[in-house]
Amino acid sequence: MLGKSKKTDSGKLVSPDRPLEGKSSTFLSRSTARDEKTIIGEHISIEGSIRGEENLEIEGSMKGNIELEKHNFRIGPNGQVEGEINARNVSISGEFKGNIKSHEKVEITREADFYGEIKAKSISIEDGAYIKGVIELDREPNRKSTDAQKPNATAAPETGKAPGAPR
Amino acid sequence: MATSITQDPRDPNVALSPTSHTSEVLELFLNSLVRLKDGQVLDMGPVCEENILFFASRLRRHYVCDMFLRLIREQKIARHSRNVWRHLDYPDRFFDGIHLWDLCDHLDDKKVSQVIEHCLLMLQPGGLLMLVAFEKPPSPVRINSFIIQHHYRMSYRVQPHLNIAWHCRHNRALMSLLTGFSIVKSLRYRNGIREILLKKPL
């Protein structure tokens, strides 16, 4: 996609009219509208860091850190990323190794292979995703851990035999 | 006893067996862990959003290592000679609790002994190991995720991407493989599911 215009999700044609920060920024096509995104195509490999002020999607491979504090980041189904991500919302459909810090939500889809750590306000995970990692959700201070799951006092136990007795 | 029927999402007219149940052992497992400051749990079950949210919202850090998908991938690449447990590369005495779900139902005796040995290493002294076991494979024979719902209710969801052999065992056979642990609680529910909570000796 080097030097070529690229169609964004909204169908508009965009061109790489301004390089982004990062070693391989000339390989990126860039959208012009604030809510559009830059896509790194699947035949592109990048080593280095990216810092930006717009949404970013990676379909290629990348080794390095991504800093998009107020914007969204997505790894497409063919994307492979290794590094640290700091973004508002993060969606992983490809392969990721590293740590994610999201200020809002992390989404892991069924195609994803995830190895690393997630710190986020919320998370959604589809069945079929592979995860080896650690998940740390922002917790409300002073929340009582078991309140929400307190069993109903009137609910009868469903055990077929007395508690504690091995069968 | 409140019971509910779990329906096959691909055919709502087909009721799955077993039905859901309320897990007393899960309640005991969780309550023991939340008493600890920064209790750390490893979840080895199929990746399941509800379960991850359940633990991650109650414990500071929730570790996930999906050994079900790992077993399938090892089968596909025919690396039978390689040790699938190499993926459990956590430090010794790292976790306060480990949830195996029904992983043992999909392992032969040798592999059950291996994973139990790994759990013993990874758990702190006094750490808890929870597992679930079927008396017989569910009907239809499909692998399900156990889904934690409100009030420790456990239901099931079919995982069509998981296709692993079944090794259901009678209680005595299963217990004989869980060496090195002491039994905290063992329950058999009416739906035929057994839940076992074990403790690593201090």
Check residues A26 and B189 and name the one with the higher pLDDT: B189
Per-window interface: B 156-195 vs A, CB < 8 A: 157, 159, 161, 171, 175, 183, 185-191, 194
Per the CB < 8 A criterion, the answer to whether B45 and B148 are in contact is no
Residues B102 and B178: beta-carbon distance below 8 Å: no
Say whether A125 sits in a helix, a strand or coil. strand
Q: Does B74 lie at the interface with A, CB-CB under 8 angstroms? A: no
The answer to whether B134 and B154 are in contact (CB under 8 A) is: no
The amino acid that residue A76 corresponds to is G
Give the nearest chain B residue to A122 (CA atoms).
B53
Q: How far apart are CA B123 and CA B116, in angstroms?
A: 11
- pLDDT in 10s for each residue of chain A, 167 residues: 433 334 344 333 333 333 344 333 334 445 444 567 899 999 999 999 999 999 999 999 999 999 999 999 999 999 999 999 999 999 999 999 999 999 999 999 999 999 999 999 999 999 999 999 999 998 765 444 444 443 333 333 333 333 223 22
User: In this structure, are residues A13 and A5 in contact, taking their beta carbons and an 8 Å threshold?
Assistant: yes
Q: pLDDT digits over B128-181, tens only?
A: 999 999 888 877 778 888 889 889 998 888 888 888 889 999 999 999 999 999
Of residues B200, B196, B190, B195, the one with CA closest to residue B17: B190
Q: What is the ipTM of this complex?
A: 0.85
Backbone angles phi, psi at A134, to 5 degrees: -125, 140
Using the predicted structure, report yes or no on whether residue B17 has a pLDDT greater than 70: no
Please say whether the beta carbons of A135 and B61 come within 8 A. Answer: yes
On chain B, the residues whose CB falls within 8 A of the CB of A132 are: 64-66, 87
Res B15 pLDDT > 80 = no
Cβ neighbours for A11, distance < 8 A, ≥ 6 positions apart: none
Which pLDDT value is given to residue B78? 64
> What's the pLDDT tens digit per position in B48-84?
999 999 999 898 899 999 999 999 888 777 655 568 8
| Residue B22 to chain A, least CA–CA distance (Å) | 7
pLDDT at B80: 57
pLDDT confidence of residue B136: 83
- Chain B, 88 to 127: residues with Cβ < 8 Å from chain A are none
Separation between Cα atoms, residue A57 and residue A36, nearest integer Å: 10
Distance, in angstroms, between B13 CA and closest chain A CA? Answer: 22
Given a contact cutoff of 8 angstroms between Cβ atoms, the answer to whether A156 and B1 are in contact is yes
Provide the whole-model pTM. 0.79
Q: Which of B10, B29, B64, B135 to mutate to test the interface with A (most CBs of A within 10 A)?
A: B64
The alpha carbon dihedral of A54, A59, A64, A65 has a sign of positive
Q: Two tokens at B157? A: 């969801």
How many residues appear in chain B?
202
Confidence at residue B81, expressed as pLDDT on a 0 to 100 scale? 55
Size of interface A-B (CB pairs under 8 A): 118
pLDDT tens sequence across B79-133:
555 688 999 999 999 999 999 999 999 999 999 999 999 999 999 999 999 999 9
Q: Which residues of B touch A116 (CB under 8 A)?
A: none
- Chain B residues in contact with A133 by the CB 8 A cut-off are 63-64
* Rounded CA separation B18/B136 (Å): 10
In angstroms, what separates the C-alpha of A148 from chain B's closest C-alpha? 8
